[in-house]
Amino acid sequence: MQCPVCHIDQVIVEFHGVELDVCIDGCGTWFDDDELRQLFEAAGAPALVADLEQRLQELPPGRDGPTRRCPRCAGRMQHVQTPGASGQVIFDRCRRGHGLWFDRGELEEILSLEVSTDGEGARALATVRAFLGQFAGDGSPRDG
């Protein structure tokens, strides 16, 4: 499967049986339908995904730049937003339900808000962040 940003092949990484597709150039991470929930369940924080889903808001087409194409069906994804630690985070969701694309740093931004608002899930979130950080880096843009 190719990255919807740079169009190079992604690599599959596994965390407790959950396979994620990560851009090897650091552009972001693709979560197939239900993999985000599975990841948080494996880390011991299943309620956090339900909280995230409740806060999602769809944005009108064309807002915040062009939409990307789903790596599964090649259809245009829609922009959705949710609060992050320093403001609204906008990411991509397949209109056909195939999954979610988080650009580098977007999921970290969302997780940072969760840590600051829910002490119970802090350890689970730290586990997820450490795992994703192995592949996605610190959220800063890559050079060249």
> 24: which residues sit within 8 A by CB, 6+ positions away?
8, 9, 10, 11
How confident is the model over 28-87, as pLDDT tens digits?
A: 999 999 999 998 888 777 877 888 888 888 887 766 666 799 999 999 999 999 988 888
The DSSP bridge pattern shows strands 99-103 and 77-84 to be unpaired
Domain spans, the chain: 10-136
Q: Quick one: which of 1, 11, 4 has its CA closest to 91?
A: 4
DSSP state of 37: H
pTM for the model: 0.82
How confident is the model over 110-135, as pLDDT tens digits?
A: 877 766 555 556 777 777 777 777 66
